[in-house]
Structure 1
Amino acid sequence: MSRIFGPVRQNGYVVRDIEKAMTHWVEVMGVGPWYYIDRVQTDWFRHRGVDSAVEMSIALANSGDLQIELIQQRNDAPSMYKEFLEAGHEGLQHLAFWSKNYQALYDEALRLGYQVGHEGQIGGDQGRFAYFDSAGHPGTVIEISDISGAKGAFFEHIRNVSADWDGADPIRPVSR
């Protein structure tokens, strides 16, 4: 439990091959089903304060209450995902904290001195997210995500389905 951000709700892994990563999580780890979005449509995305046309695919599954996110960037646009891979890393890149009062949490993080690395929005005002730089070590970037709208309901659905998953239909494409 973070005294600033609350409980960790998601571990985010940046990978070079999302299909291979999903297969690993299903076959080796027994985690699924995966909700796979081949090309995420962002309303806007900024990297270090500058608009960026990042293209990415994501997959989401739960292990208990912890959501696992896989992210594969599909182009060379500036992002913290690209920086992570270019630094020679692959794997756990961020820990995510969710809020129904996103703006207050965002403002508090800035007040405490956190610096935004990249941020964006998916599906309207209640789909905002921000990643804060952490100079610590790989795998400790902090993400905050607004779950007050449809994204929160989608995340809850994924958690509920995973609780009774029997291994069938392990990868479930989501059209956006």
Structure 2
Amino acid sequence: MCDPTVGLPVALPARQIAYFVPDIRAAADAHRAAFGSGPFLVIDHVPTPIVRHRGRPAVLDHGSAYGQWGEVMVEFVQQHDAGPSAFHDMYPSGSGRFGMHHVALFVDDLTAAIDRFAAGGDECALYAETSATAFAMIDTVRHYGHMIELYEPSRVLLDFYARVRAMADGDA
């Protein structure tokens, strides 16, 4: 079993819990009603110009709703296309299946973290870049029942997390 903390100086706390859903707005509304999370920032088509699914070039058209749930961010993800992806690896297109998909962690060095997981037998299911950050989905389903998302805590990303938290605190 891969131990992602091997060689790391400190434990990696969960920064985000994400669910793959058929409708990000409906899921966010239901979660808010049940758990008091949010409010949610919705991005219908997250610009992701660089995508590699299991090492191969790919396209990923997805939307996300981001909100605060206590101390952790919660994300609802909807894939708009039927193509291969880390989401469809767990929840195949057309299957009607949805659920928890990943837990996100901040790492100091994305490439080194991907390599540490790979050395333990956990494949990078998705590597992608937005205009703000690069991130990776590591296939840890065999260990935890979900994937692990990794990204470096850049200023842009930290500001985004702060914005979502401020919305929850009524400061945005």
Q: TM-score, normalised by structure 2?
A: 0.83
Secondary structure at the counterpart of residue 107 of structure 1: helix
**Residues 106, 137 of structure 1: CA spacing in aligned structure 2 closer, same or farther, 3 A cutoff?**
closer
**Whole-Å Cα distance in 2 between the matches of residues 74 and 138 of structure 1?**
26
1:110 alignment counterpart: 118
Amino acid at match of 2:128: G
**Whole-Å Cα distance in 2 between the matches of residues 111 and 13 of structure 1?**
27
| 1:65-100 deviation digits (Å, cap 9, x = unpaired) | 211011000011110212222266311111111124
Q: Post-superposition shift, 1:105?
A: 2.3
Q: Is the 8 A contact 1:98 1:147 kept in 2?
A: yes
Secondary structure at the counterpart of residue 142 of structure 2: coil
Range moving further from structure 2, 12-21 or 98-107: 98-107
Range moving further from structure 2, 4-13 or 34-43: 4-13
2:146 alignment counterpart: 140
Amino acid at match of 1:107: D
Q: Is the 8 A contact 1:99 1:148 kept in 2?
A: no
Q: TM-score, normalised by structure 1?
A: 0.81
1:69 aligns with 2:75: yes
Moved over 4 A (4+): none
Structure 2 matches for 1:77-92, cutoff 5 A?
77-86=83-92, 89-92=97-100
Secondary structure at the counterpart of residue 93 of structure 1: strand
Identify unmatched segments of 5+ residues in structure 2: none
Identify unmatched segments of 5+ residues in structure 1: 170-176
**Residues 21, 135 of structure 1: CA spacing in aligned structure 2 closer, same or farther, 3 A cutoff?**
closer
Amino acid at match of 2:31: W
Equivalent residue for 2:109, pick from 101, 108, 113:
101
1:26 aligns with 2:32: yes
**Whole-Å Cα distance in 1 between the matches of residues 163 and 91 of structure 2?**
30
How many residue pairs align between the two structures?
A: 163
**Whole-Å Cα distance in 1 between the matches of residues 99 and 170 of structure 2?**
24
* CA-atom RMSD in angstroms: 2.3
2:53 alignment counterpart: 47
